[in-house]
C-alpha cells in the first residue's frame, strides 16, 4: 500500500496510518472494557491548494480524523505531518505556530460561537492570541475579515443570537481566517443551513481558497456538494478509508461496492431521472465500531459478499493511477483492468427501480 | 388527466402564534388537496410552516401560543378543524397517520415498542391486547425490523435511529389509515438508511394505495417519491403542480432558485464553476409582509410585487405559481 508519495513540497498534509481509539469504561472502577475504533489506520495526503473531500455515514470517523489532524485528539497510533513537520512532540513554540496555521470551521453555527462574545470580539480573539495586540490594527483586521466573508463591519458589536444560521457560519469562517491559516478543516460547514443558504456559504468557501490560497479538508455527507467542491475524495466506513480517488473518477468509476451503494442511494433532484434510476438498497445498519466485522468491514451489508470477505480484510490498493479501493472482488469484476466498474446488479443485492 | 378521488381538501388554512415578540403568521392562507394513493411532496426552508400546516390539520397546535384562525380541512365531507377532541383523536389513529419530525421525542421512552404499536389497535379497533400484539409483530416485520417477535419487548433506546423511524411508521400504520403524513421521515438518517425508508414508503403507496403527504427540504427525496409538489415559502404555498412540471418548468423564482442552487452528484462539475445562490435570507415572520414574501430576494422583482401579494395563479392544468412575473413570456402576468 502506498497512498502517500515520498515527501515533496506539494504536500500540505500527510496522514500515515492514523488511529484514534476511544476507551470504553465500565463499572465503579471505570475499568477499560474495550475501545471504539473511531479511526483505525488511515493514510492519505492533502496537496497544497486542493480541497480534499471526506465522506461517509454518521459515526464513520470523519470528525475524529479532522480533530486528530488539528491535535485536538491525541492519536492512538500513526503520524501526522504538516508542511513537512511531524506534529508529535513538537516544542511548544513551533506547536503554537502550527496551531495558528491549521483552523477548523464547525458544523453547527449555533453551538460553535460563544453567545456572550460580540461578533467583533469573537473574531479579534485569535488575532490577539496569534498576531498583534495593537488595538487599532485588531480593529482594522476584524473589519477587513467581516468584509471578506460578506458581512458589514457595522455588525461587529452585535451578538451571535442576532444572526441567522448562514450569517453565523460566516462569522465562524471569519474567526477561522483571523489567525491567517494555510489549512482549514471544514467539518460539515453547511449541513445545518437551509438549502438556499448553502450555496452562498459554499461559494464563499471556494472563493477564499482561490483568493488567499487555502487548502481544505472538507468533511461532509452530502455527496452532491462533495462532488461540487472537492478535487479528490476519500470515502470512510467504520474508521477506514475504503476508496480514494480524483472526484470525477470516484463518482463515475467507483470501485468499492460501498461507494457504489452510497452514490446510488442519494436521490437526484429530477423526477424523470429518478423514475428510471438503478438503486441499491443496502440492508441493515452500520456495525458497531467497538466490535467491527472480522473480514471486510462492509461484509455484513455488501451485495457482492463472498466467503473470503468474511475472513480476510481487503487492503486499500491502487487500481488505476491515483485511484485506491479496498475490496476483494475488484480484480475479478474486471475494474482493475480498466474495464467498466463493478456492476452490482450481477449479484444478490437488492436493487430496485 | 383523469379525475382523481380527492381524500383531503384544505382551504385557506391560517395558523398564528402569539409570542412576546408579536404575532407569527406561521401558516398564511394555505390551500391544497390530496388524491387517493398519491404522494404530495411539501418542500421549503426551515420555519416556512410545513410542520405547523400539517399539525394544524390534526389539531396538534399548542394553544396558547398557537391558534388556527381560519380555514377548512375536509376529510370526505367532515371538517377536521371543526371536530371535537375525541373525534379528532380517533381520526389521528384510524384515518390519518402521522410520522413526526423527531422520532425520539414522539416515542414514549418508558413503554415497550409493542405496547406503543398495540395501543391504538386496542383503543380503536376493538382488539384484545393479545391480538393487538400479534398484529404489532406483523407490522414491525412489514417495516423491516428483523426478529420482530422479540423486538416488540424492547424499549425505544434499544433501537438505532433508522429502526426508530421504522417503529414510528409501524405505529402510524397500525390501524391502516388511508392517509399518512410523514414529516421529514428521513432527515435525521444516513443516506443508506434513508434509501431503505423511502423504499418502504414507496411500497406502502403501491401495495396499500396509501395517500401520503411527505414533508422534506430535500428536493431529491421529493423527486424520488412525489407525484405532486407544493413549494412553501414564509407560510404560503408559492408553487404547486405535478413533480414533472415543477422540476422541468419551475415557475416561481424561489423554486427556480432552489433547483439552480443544487449541485448534482450525477453530473460533472468544472472546478471553477460557482453555485448559483439565492441572495438574502427568508423574511422574519414577525414582520408583516405586504406584497410578495419573496420580493426582497427575488431577481425579477418589480413595483407590483412590493404591494400586492400574488396568490396562486393557475398556469396550466394543475400547475400554479404565486408570482406576478411570467418567466416564459418575460412580462407581468395577466390574470383573468
Ligand atoms: N470523544 C469521544 N469519546 C468516545 N467515543 C467517541 C468520541 N468521539 C467520537 N466517538 C465515537 O467515534 C466514532 C466516530 O465518531 P465521529 O464523530 O468521528 O464520526 P463522524 O464520521 O464525524 O460522524 P457524523 O457524521 O455523525 O458527524 C463514533 O462511533 C463515535 O460515537
Ligand atoms: N410553539 C410555537 N411558538 C411560536 N412560534 C412557533 C411555534 N411553533 C412554530 N412556530 C413558528 O412557526 C413557523 C413555522 O414553523 P414550522 O415548524 O411549521 O416550520 P417548518 O417549515 O416545519 O420548518 P423545519 O424545516 O425547520 O421543520 C416558524 O416561524 C416557527 O418559529
Ligand atoms: S471485499 Fe467483499 S465484502 Fe467487502 S466489499 Fe468487496 S465484495 Fe464486499
Ligand atoms: Mg462529524
Ligand atoms: Mg418542520
User: Closest Cα partner for B237 from B91, B43, B9?
Assistant: B43
E strands in chain A = 11-26, 31-47, 51-55, 77-82, 85-86, 102-105, 183-187, 215-220, 232-237, 240-246, 279-280, 317-320, 323-325, 351-352
The shortest C-alpha distance from B8 to chain A (Å) reads 24
Q: Do A197 and B247 touch (CB under 8 A)?
A: no
A347, A340 Cβ separation under 8 angstroms: no
Q: Where are the alpha helices (DSSP H) in A86-212?
A: 92-101, 119-130, 135-148, 165-177, 195-212
Confidence tier at A286 by pLDDT (50, 70, 90)? confident
Site to substitute for ligand 3 among A298, A306, A325, most atoms within 8 A of C-beta: A298
Confidence tier at A351 by pLDDT (50, 70, 90)? very low
pLDDT tens per residue, range A140-160: 999 999 988 888 888 899 998
Tell me the β-bridge partners of A317: A325
Confidence tier at A8 by pLDDT (50, 70, 90)? low
User: Looking at per-residue confidence, does A66 or A7 come out higher?
Assistant: A66
- Stated pTM of the model: 0.90
Tell me the β-bridge partners of B66: B17
pLDDT of amino acid A28: 86
Does residue B290 surpass a pLDDT of 90? Answer: no
CB of B277 within 8 Å of a chain A CB? The answer is yes
Chain A CB contacts of B199 below 8 Å:
279, 281, 352
Most confident listed range (B36-45, B152-161, B288-297): B36-45
Grid coordinates belonging to A234: 476519500
Nearest to B275 among A202, A263, A352 (CB): A202
Summarize the confidence of residues B143-159 as an average pLDDT.
Answer: 89
pLDDT of amino acid B3: 52
pLDDT tens per residue, range B54-72: 999 999 999 889 999 999 9
pLDDT of amino acid A129: 86
Confidence tier at A353 by pLDDT (50, 70, 90)? very low
pLDDT of amino acid B208: 86
Most confident listed range (A28-42, A150-164, B237-251): B237-251
User: What's the sign of the alpha-carbon dihedral B193, B194, B195, B196?
Assistant: positive
Nearest to B266 among A57, A229, A268 (CB): A268
pLDDT of amino acid A7: 47
Q: Is the peptide bond before B64 cis (omega within 30 degrees of 0)?
A: yes
Summarize the confidence of residues B193-213 as an average pLDDT.
Answer: 90
- A308 C-alpha vs ligand 3 centroid, how far in Å? 9
Atom of ligand 2 nearest to the CA of B44: 21
Summarize the confidence of residues A108-119 as an average pLDDT.
Answer: 86
Nearest CA to ligand 2 atom 28: B47
Q: Torsion angle of alpha carbons B118, B37, A270, A280, nearest 10°?
A: 50
Write the DSSP assignment of B112-151 as a string of letters: -HHHHHHHHHHHHS---HHHHHHHHHHHHHHTT-TTHHHH
Q: Do B223 and A251 touch (CB under 8 A)?
A: no
Measured CA to CA, the distance from residue B204 to residue A28 in angstroms comes to 49
Does residue B320 surpass a pLDDT of 50? Answer: yes
Does residue A346 surpass a pLDDT of 80? Answer: no
Q: In chain A, whose CA is at the least distance from the CA of B245?
A: A271
In residues, how long is chain B? 336
pLDDT tens per residue, range A292-321: 999 999 999 998 999 999 999 999 999 999
pLDDT of amino acid B239: 98
Summarize the confidence of residues A103-131 as an average pLDDT.
Answer: 88
Atom of ligand 2 nearest to the CA of B62: 1
For B59, residues 6+ apart whose C-beta sits below 8 A from its C-beta are B68, B80, B81, B83, B85, B88
For B299, residues 6+ apart whose C-beta sits below 8 A from its C-beta are B253
Measured CA to CA, the distance from residue A118 to residue A124 in angstroms comes to 10
Atom of ligand 2 nearest to the CA of B65: 3
- B42 C-alpha vs ligand 5 centroid, how far in Å? 11
Summarize the confidence of residues A105-128 as an average pLDDT.
Answer: 89
- Give the domain ranges of chain B: 6-226, 250-263+277-332
pLDDT tens per residue, range A171-187: 999 999 999 999 999 99
Confidence tier at A221 by pLDDT (50, 70, 90)? confident
pLDDT of amino acid A4: 47
Q: To the nearest whole number, what is the mean pLDDT of chain A?
A: 88
Does residue A340 surpass a pLDDT of 50? Answer: no
Q: Is the peptide bond before B325 cis (omega within 30 degrees of 0)?
A: no
Measured CA to CA, the distance from residue B205 to residue B211 in angstroms comes to 7
Q: In chain A, whose CA is at the least distance from the CA of B200?
A: A281
pLDDT of amino acid A33: 87
Confidence tier at B101 by pLDDT (50, 70, 90)? confident
Chain A CB contacts of B194 below 8 Å:
265
Site to substitute for ligand 1 among A38, A62, A72, most atoms within 8 A of C-beta: A38
Does residue A55 surpass a pLDDT of 70? Answer: yes
Nearest to A267 among B224, B254, B277 (CB): B224
Q: Torsion angle of alpha carbons A297, A303, A307, A309, nearest 10°?
A: -20
Measured CA to CA, the distance from residue B96 to residue B90 in angstroms comes to 9
Q: To the nearest whole number, what is the mean pLDDT of chain B?
A: 91
Measured CA to CA, the distance from residue B17 to residue B27 in angstroms comes to 10
pLDDT of amino acid A163: 84
Measured CA to CA, the distance from residue A106 to residue A112 in angstroms comes to 7
Q: Which residue has the cell 489549512?
A: A183
Q: Phi and psi (nearest 5°) for A57?
A: -80, 170
The shortest C-alpha distance from B84 to chain A (Å) reads 37
Q: Report percent pLDDT > 70 for chain B.
A: 96
Grid coordinates belonging to B138: 406483523
Chain B CB contacts of A218 below 8 Å:
none
pLDDT of amino acid B1: 41
Q: Is the CB of B52 under 6 A from ligand 2?
A: yes
Nearest CA to ligand 3 atom 5: A327
Grid coordinates belonging to A214: 487555502
User: Looking at per-residue confidence, does B333 or B212 come out higher?
Assistant: B212
Grid coordinates belonging to A105: 470551521
Does residue B307 surpass a pLDDT of 90? Answer: yes
In the CATH scheme, what is the code of domain B6-226? 3.40.50.300
ipTM of this predicted structure = 0.86
Chain B CB contacts of A263 below 8 Å:
265
Amino acid at each position: 500500500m502506498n497512498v502517500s508519495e515520498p515527501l515533496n513540497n506539494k504536500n500540505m498534509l500527510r496522514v500515515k496510518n492514523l488511529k484514534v481509539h476511544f476507551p470504553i469504561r465500565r463499572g465503579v472502577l471505570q475499568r477499560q472494557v474495550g475501545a471504539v475504533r473511531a479511526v483505525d489506520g488511515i493514510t492519505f495526503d492533502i496537496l497544497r491548494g486542493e480541497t480534499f473531500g471526506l465522506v461517509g455515514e454518521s459515526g464513520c470517523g470523519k470528525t475524529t480524523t479532522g480533530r486528530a489532524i488539528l491535535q485536538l485528539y491525541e492519536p492512538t497510533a500513526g503520524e501526522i505531518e504538516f508542511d513537512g513537520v511531524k506534529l508529535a512532540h513538537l516544542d511548544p513554540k513551533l506547536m503554537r505556530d502550527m496551531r495558528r496555521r491549521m483552523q477548523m470551521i464547525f458544523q453547527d453555527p449555533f453551538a460553535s460561537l460563544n453567545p456572550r462574545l460580540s461578533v467583533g470580539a469573537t473574531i479579534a480573539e485569535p488575532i490577539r492570541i496569534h498576531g498583534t495586540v495593537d488595538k487599532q490594527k485588531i480593529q482594522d483586521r476584524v473589519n477587513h475579515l467581516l468584509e471578506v466573508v460578506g458581512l458589514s463591519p457595522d455588525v461587529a458589536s452585535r451578538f451571535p443570537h442576532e444572526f441567522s444560521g448562514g450569517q453565523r457560519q460566516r462569522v465562524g469562517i471569519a474567526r477561522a481566517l483571523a489567525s491567517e491559516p494555510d489549512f482549514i478543516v471544514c467539518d460539515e460547514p453547511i449541513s445545518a443551513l437551509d438549502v438556499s443558504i448553502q450555496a452562498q456559504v459554499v461559494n464563499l468557501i471556494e472563493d477564499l481558497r482561490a483568493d488567499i490560497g487555502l487548502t481544505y479538508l472538507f468533511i461532509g455527507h452530502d455527496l452532491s456538494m462533495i462532488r461540487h467542491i472537492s478535487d479528490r475524495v476519500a470515502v470512510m466506513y467504520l474508521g477506514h478509508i475504503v476508496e480514494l480517488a480524483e472526484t470525477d473518477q470516484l463518482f463515475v468509476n467507483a470501485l468499492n461496492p460501498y461507494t457504489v451503494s452510497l452514490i446510488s442511494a442519494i436521490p437526484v433532484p429530477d423526477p424523470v431521472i429518478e423514475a428510471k434510476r438503478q438503486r441499491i438498497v443496502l440492508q441493515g445498519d452500520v456495525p458497531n465500531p467497538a466490535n467491527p466485522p472480522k473480514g471486510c468491514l462492509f461484509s455484513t451489508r455488501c451485495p457482492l459478499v463472498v466467503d473470503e470477505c468474511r475472513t480476510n480484510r481487503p487492503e486499500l490498493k491502487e487500481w488505476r493511477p491515483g485511484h485506491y479501493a479496498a475490496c476483494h472482488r475488484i480484480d475479478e469484476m474486471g475494474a482493475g483492468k480498466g474495464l467498466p466498474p463493478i456492476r452490482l446488479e450481477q449479484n444478490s443485492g437488492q436493487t430496485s427501480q | 388527466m383523469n379525475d382523481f378521488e380527492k381524500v383531503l381538501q384544505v382551504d385557506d388554512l391560517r395558523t398564528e402564534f402569539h409570542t412576546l415578540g408579536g404575532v407569527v403568521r406561521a401558516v398564511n392562507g394555505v390551500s391544497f388537496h390530496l388524491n387517493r394513493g398519491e404522494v404530495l411532496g411539501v418542500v421549503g426552508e426551515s420555519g416556512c410552516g410545513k410542520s405547523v400546516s400539517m399539525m394544524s390539520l390534526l389539531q396538534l397546535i399548542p394553544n396558547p401560543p398557537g391558534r388556527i384562525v381560519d380555514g377548512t380541512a375536509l376529510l370526505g365531507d367532515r371538517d377536521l378543524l371543526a371536530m371535537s377532541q375525541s373525534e379528532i383523536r380517533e381520526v389521528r389513529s384510524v384515518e390519518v397517520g402521522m410520522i413526526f419530525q423527531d422520532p425520539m421525542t414522539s416515542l414514549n421512552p418508558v413503554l415497550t415498542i409493542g405496547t406503543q404499536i398495540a395501543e391504538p389497535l386496542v383503543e380503536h379497533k376493538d382488539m384484545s391486547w393479545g391480538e393487538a400484539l400479534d398484529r404489532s409483530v406483523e407490522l414491525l416485520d412489514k417495516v423491516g425490523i428483523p426478529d420482530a417477535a422479540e423486538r416488540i419487548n424492547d424499549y425505544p433506546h434499544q433501537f438505532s435511529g433508522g429502526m426508530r423511524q421504522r417503529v414510528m411508521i409501524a405505529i402510524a400504520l397500525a390501524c391502516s389509515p388511508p392517509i399518512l403524513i410523514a414529516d421529514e421521515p428521513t432527515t435525521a438518517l444516513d443516506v443508506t438508511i434513508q434509501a431503505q425508508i423511502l423504499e418502504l414508503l414507496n411500497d406502502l403507496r403501491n401495495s396499500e394505495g396509501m395517500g401520503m403527504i411527505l414533508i422534506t427540504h430535500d428536493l431529491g427525496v421529493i423527486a424520488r417519491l412525489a407525484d405532486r409538489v407544493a413549494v412553501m415559502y414564509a407560510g404560503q404555498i408559492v408553487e404547486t403542480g405535478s413533480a414533472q412540471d415543477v422540476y422541468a418548468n419551475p415557475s416561481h423564482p424561489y423554486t427556480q432558485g432552489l433547483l439552480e442552487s443544487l449541485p448534482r452528484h450525477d453530473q460533472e462539475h468544472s472546478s471553477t464553476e460557482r453555485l448559483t445562490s439565492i441572495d438574502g435570507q427568508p423574511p422574519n415572520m414577525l414582520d408583516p409582509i405586504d406584497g410578495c414574501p419573496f420580493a426582497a430576494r427575488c431577481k425579477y422583482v418589480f413595483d407590483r410585487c412590493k404591494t400586492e401579494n400574488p396568490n396562486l395563479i393557475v398556469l396550466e392544468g394543475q400547475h400554479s405559481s404565486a408570482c406576478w412575473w411570467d418567466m416564459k413570456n418575460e412580462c407581468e402576468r395577466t390574470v383573468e
